[in-house]
A = this chain, B = another copy of it.
Amino acid sequence: MGPIREMLSQSDINEQKWRVLRVLDERGPSELTLVAKEACLLLPSLTRIIRAMEDEGLATRATDAGDRRKSIATITEAGRALIVAHMAESNAIFARLEQDFGREKLEQLLDLLDELQTLDLYKP
Point out residues on A near B: beta carbons under 8 Å: 2-3, 96-97, 100-101, 105, 108-109, 112-113, 115-116, 119, 121-122
Q: Indicate which residue in B3, B100, B105, B121 contacts A2 across the interface (CB closer than 8 Å).
A: B121
Q: Indicate which residue in B109, B121, B122 contacts A113 across the interface (CB closer than 8 Å).
A: B109
Residues of B within 8 A of A105 (CB): 112, 115
Structural contact, B109 and A97, CB atoms closer than 8 A: no
A101 to B3, CA, bound (A): 30
Most buried by B among A3, A96, A109: A109
Q: Indicate which residue in B3, B100, B112, B121 contacts A96 across the interface (CB closer than 8 Å).
A: B121
Q: How far is the CB of A118 from chain B (nearest CB, A)?
A: 10
